[in-house]
Homo-oligomer: A and B are copies of this chain.
Amino acid sequence: MKTVLYPLFTDEYFMNEALREAHKAFEKDEVPVGAVVVCQKRIIARAHNLTETLHDVTAHAEMQAFTAASDYLGGKYLNECTLYVTLEPCVMCAGAAFWTRIEKIIYGTADEKRGYTLIDRPLLHPKTTVESGVLQAQCKNLLKEFFALKRDK
C-alpha cells in the first residue's frame, strides 16, 4: 500500500494561523489583522494589530511580527522568512519589510484604501516576492464583519 503524504505546512495552513491572530485582535475590538513569520516551515513570530490597545499607530501586526522574528533570530534580516498577513501591508509595513529584506510576503486580502500597492512605485526590497489571495474570503469577511459591527453601534 502506498503511503500518501499530505502536505501539512501549506500556505493555507500558515495563513490560517495568521487568521487566528486576526481573531484575537477582533476580540479586543481591534481592526482584525493578524500575521505570522515563518522560517523553514516553523512559525517564529505571531502578532495581531494592537493600535488601539497600545495607543500606537506603529503597532500593526506586521511591525510586531518583524520585531519578534528578528528578536528570535538574533539578527535584523529576515531574508529566509515568509510573512503571512491577513491584510495587504500599508506603506509603513512595506517600508519596514524593505529593511528586513524578507524573502516573501503572502497576504490574504487587498487593502483598497491603504494598501502599499496603491503607491505605484517599488516600495519593497527587490528580492522580496509577493503572493496574495490565500484564504482571501476568510480574511476579508472577518474585516467586513468587524466594520459592520462598528457601524451598527
With contacts A51-B76, A76-B51 taken as known, whether A91 is within 8 angstroms of B57 at the C-beta atoms is: no
Copies of this chain, tallied across the complex: 2
Give complex CA distance A60, B124 in Å: 17
- Of A19-27, A96-104, A138-146, the one with at least 4 CB within 8 A of chain B: A96-104
Instruction: Judge if A47 is at the interface, Cβ distance under 8 Å.
Output: no
B54, B63, B74, B92: the one contacting A98 at CB < 8 Å is B92
Which residues on B sit within 8 Å (CB–CB) of A94?
91-92, 95
Q: A55-B75, A92-B94, A92-B99 are in contact. List 4 more A-B contacts (CB 8 A).
A: A58-B63, A91-B91, A94-B95, A95-B95
Cβ A99 vs Cβ B58 within 8 A: yes
Which residues on B sit within 8 Å (CB–CB) of A95?
90-95
Question: Which residues of chain A in 110-134 are interfacial with respect to chain B, using CB atoms and an 8 Å cutoff?
Answer: 119-121, 123
- In the complex, what's the smallest C-beta–C-beta distance from A134 to chain B, in angstroms? 24
- Of A2-10, A33-41, A65-73, A80-88, the one with at least 4 CB within 8 A of chain B: A65-73
- In the complex, what's the smallest C-beta–C-beta distance from A2 to chain B, in angstroms? 46
Cβ B58 vs Cβ A96 within 8 A: yes
Cβ A96 vs Cβ B55 within 8 A: no
Which residues on B sit within 8 Å (CB–CB) of A98?
91-92
